[in-house]
Chain A
């Protein structure tokens, strides 16, 4: 039963156009990293660190990673609901939590498999000594955590509403990018900050200006991670249990 759910979800996710578009988007940071590496600015120690962190955090953590997770997370359950195939799954005697858990799992693995290597590759290309200060591993871990958390949140969101994508985008671009910059305390409720908290456990740079400054300690990040996962699974299960067919708002 689990294997059927997994393979159905995976085949649904990795469909034609979607994978192509995401692949192209994810090639952008690598492309820019390569251009930078061969331009004359590269070389001076401090600059590379700032550029590496800037590129990874701006292009990947604030733009591409949430987007990839958003697309996979909403596609894994939301697209099935929109297409009607969710009815096929929901008219089977399967516990709803199992459906949610598998949708989250498959989406997370797919997103992480794409995003983590791109994050590490970008760091590796831009930075002189990428393994120093645990930079590459730390950012990779952060990308992994962010993939899982965003996917979990967006799978749950797409069980609740057919507008999961737009609400997810508003959360990412208005809340995490915009509001947390103005009101510092909002960072307590930010998946990106939880991910940075995990990165910080490995990375031993304390101060790097505006691009990379984790605000939460590791403990807070772990608690935040647990809360997001638990809330997403509980909320998604509840919404699927009460799933009603027809035009949703």
Chain B
């Protein structure tokens, strides 16, 4: 830029920054929700963020996948139907990994927007408060599928490829596909809603993390001790109220694999068998827990201050 008539003692400079304005078309509410969903889903896996969130998300997903990988690998080596973990046991086996994933992601998904004060930014767009919540739940549930659905499918495919007669094996086990789909979807949605509902009540990441962990994991340990001390009668109520129990028991029910009534109460599967409740009660419990959490989450976000 030319400096006309500059005084000799001048010590000022002006630079040309060349700005432009946006004048393209503007898309509506559904597009905005979808954008928020995609953004949140990408954020859970650390895409578009630093290295650490990526390591965290993909690391946990990988750990959740390890039992499946081992099952398939050993199956291939042994050359027959080898099962380290069976489908109905899988969530119980990697339970802590799933819970840690939910805790970490839930506290980030809703917490970051409150900590960084980006909520006003969203709510000044064509997005309602319920839409925001919906997008976040959908994003977390989708992300969770990579820890629930993907390993299960891998085990299925691995077993199929390892079977001596593939066609016959497939004929016998094809019904597992819908069981895998149903159990992972139910578990993912349940944990996503409960995790987010709890994480919404505090802006502090540490408190959110610990609360989600306490609600989803410590509750399982505590209920387990309670069942052992009190016996299965009254403790059945505690089991129905505990997300971890509802999730695993629902999976047993879906795979039609509730173990026979056991004498000892050590494992969760034994405790579920001991409670001796009809299968549908567990599914109802899971849905009810999800609904209650959703109710509180919606109420919370309708009056959250920006």
List the interface of chain A (C-beta within 8 A of B): 17, 21, 28, 32, 35-36, 39, 63, 67, 71, 74-75, 78-79, 82, 161-163, 165-167, 169-170, 173-174, 177-178, 247, 249
Q: Which residues of B contact A165 (CB under 8 A)?
A: 205-206, 209-210
What are the 6 closest A-B residue pairs judged by CB atoms, nearest first?
A249-B50, A166-B104, A249-B52, A173-B96, A165-B209, A165-B206
B204 within 8 A of A: yes
Chain B residues numbered 230-285 whose CB sits less than 8 Å from any CB in chain A? none
Q: Which of B49, B56, B63 contacts A166 (CB 8 A)?
A: B56
Q: Is the CB of B229 within 8 A of A174?
A: no
- Seed contacts A32-B225, A35-B229; 8 additional CB < 8 Å A-B pairs: A82-B206, A162-B205, A163-B52, A163-B53, A163-B56, A166-B103, A170-B60, A174-B100
- Closest A-chain residue to B50, C-beta based? A249
CA distance A167 to B51 in the complex (A): 14
CB atoms of B56 and A167 under 8 A apart? yes
B residues less than 8 Å from A35 (CB atoms): 229
A229 to B225, CA, bound (A): 35
Inside 8 A of B96's CB, which chain A residues have their CB? 173-174, 177-178
* Contacting residues, chain B, for A163 (C-beta < 8 A): 52-53, 56, 104
Cβ contacts A to B, 11 pairs, < 8 Å: A32-B229, A35-B229, A36-B229, A79-B204, A162-B205, A165-B206, A166-B103, A166-B104, A173-B100, A249-B49, A249-B50
Residues in chain B near residue A75, CB distance under 8 A:
206
Interface size on B, residues (CB 8 A): 27
Complex alpha-carbon distance, A173 and B204, angstroms: 22
Provide the residues of chain B in CB contact with A178, threshold 8 Å.
Answer: 96
User: Is B155 an interface position by the 8 A CB rule?
Assistant: no
Judging by beta carbons under 8 Å apart, are A166 and B209 in contact?
A: yes
B contact residues around A82 at 8 Å (CB): 204-206
Name the CB-closest residue of A to B213.
A169
CB distance from A154 to the nearest CB of B (A): 11
Q: Which residues of B contact A177 (CB under 8 A)?
A: 96
B4 CB to closest chain A CB (Å) equals: 41
Assess the B100–A170 pair: CB atoms within 8 A.
Answer: yes
- Complex: how many Å from CA A71 to CA B213? 13
Residues of A close to B291: CB separation below 8 A:
none
Closest CB-CB distance, B108 to chain A, in whole Å?
Answer: 9
Q: Within 8 Å of chain A (Cβ to Cβ): is B221?
A: yes
Distance, CA A53 to CA B205, complexed state (A): 34
Give min CB distance, B165 to chain A, whole Å.
32
From B52, B60, B116, B221, name the one whose CB has the most chain A CB atoms within 10 angstroms. B52
Shortest beta-carbon distance from A228 to chain B in Å: 22
Q: Which residues of A contact B63 (CB under 8 A)?
A: 174
Q: Least Cβ distance of A28 to chain B in Å?
A: 7
- Closest B residue to A160 by beta carbon equals B52
- Distance from B182 Cβ to chain A, minimum over Cβ atoms (Å): 27
- Residue B222 at the chain A interface, CB threshold 8 Å: yes
- How far apart sit A39 and B230, CA to CA, in the bound complex (Å)? 11
Is B97's CB within 8 Å of the partner chain A?
A: yes
Interface-centre pick from A162, A166, A178, A247 (highest chain B CB count, 10 A): A166
| A71-B205 contact given A32-B229, A249-B50, A249-B51, CB 8 Å threshold | no
Q: State A75–B209 Cα separation when bound (angstroms).
A: 13
User: CB-CB < 8 A to A170: which residues of B?
Assistant: 59-60, 100
What A residues does B218 contact at CB under 8 A? Answer: 63
Interface centre among A67, A79, A173, A249 (most CB of B within 10 A): A249
Residue ID in chain B nearest A249 by CB atoms: B50
User: Is the beta-carbon distance between B51 and A174 smaller than 8 angstroms?
Assistant: no
Within 8 A of A (CB), among B45-85: 49-53, 56, 59-60, 63
Q: Tell me whether B229 and A28 are in contact (CB under 8 A).
A: no
Contact A79 B53 (CB under 8 A): no
Do the beta carbons of A161 and B52 come within 8 Å of each other? yes
Query: Nearest chain A CB to B114's CB is how many angstroms away?
Result: 13
* C-alpha gap A28/B97 in the complex (Å): 24
In the complex, what residues of A have CB within 8 A of residue B97's CB? Answer: 174
Contacting pair B206 A78 (CB below 8 A): yes
1/0 contact trace for B160-186 toward A, CB 8 Å? Answer: 000000000000000000000000000
Most chain B CB neighbours (cut-off 10 Å) among A71, A165, A174: A165
Nearest Cβ on chain A to B13's Cβ, whole angstroms: 28
Which residues of chain B are near A32, meaning CB under 8 Å?
225, 229
User: Which residues 206-231 of B have a CB within 8 angstroms of A?
Assistant: 206-207, 209-210, 213, 218, 221-222, 225, 229
